[in-house]
Amino acid sequence: MLSVATGSDATVVDITREVVQFCAGKGDGLVSVFVPHATAGVAIFETGAGSDADVLAAIDELLPRDPRRWRHEHGTPGHGRDHVLPAFISPSVTVPVIDGHLQLGTWQSIVVVDPNVDNINRTVRLSFVGG
């Protein structure tokens, strides 16, 4: 289990290094990365070069924080949109592992996407199934 500090701003946090360390020496199989939260997701994409900001901007465009738009009412204004996020960015991903090494593409990273400004820490659960 990982604890990820996401802070009080919408953010994308790269956790690839931690997942690599978790898989080291485990052989062949699958690693599952799961965020047990109703307002965050896990994704695989190229980080840096503006992609992180682009993803957050796309979330803002697709799911505006306008509180008049959402029925879910607790938390900061517009927080209801954060509860819709997992319909677009899954709370989990599964990645193949061969000889203890993640089989990600050259530019791919595993990230936690968290637009929710009400929670500053997230838990990430890692599971490995040998194959």
The 3-state DSSP class for residue 2 equals strand
Mean pLDDT of the chain: 94
Look up residue 28 and give its two tokens. 């062949």
For the chain, how many residues are written?
A: 131
CB 22 within 8 A of CB 15: no
Structure confidence by residue, pLDDT tens digits, 70-89: 888 788 888 889 999 999 99
Q: How far apart are CA 6 and CA 2, in angstroms?
A: 12
Please tell me whether the overall predicted TM-score, pTM, comes out greater than 0.75 for this model. yes
The correct answer on CATH 3.40.30.10 for the domain covering 2-130 is: no
Q: Is the pLDDT of residue 48 over 90?
A: no
CB atoms within 10 A of CB 62: 11
What are the boundaries of each domain within the chain?
Answer: 2-130
pLDDT per position as a tens digit, 96-108: 999 999 999 999 9
What is the structure's pLDDT at 65? 87
Decide if pLDDT at 7 tops 80: yes
Residue 46 pLDDT class (50, 70, 90 cuts) = very high
What was the pLDDT predicted at 113? 98
Whether residue 11 contacts residue 111, with contact meaning beta carbons closer than 8 Å, is answered with: no
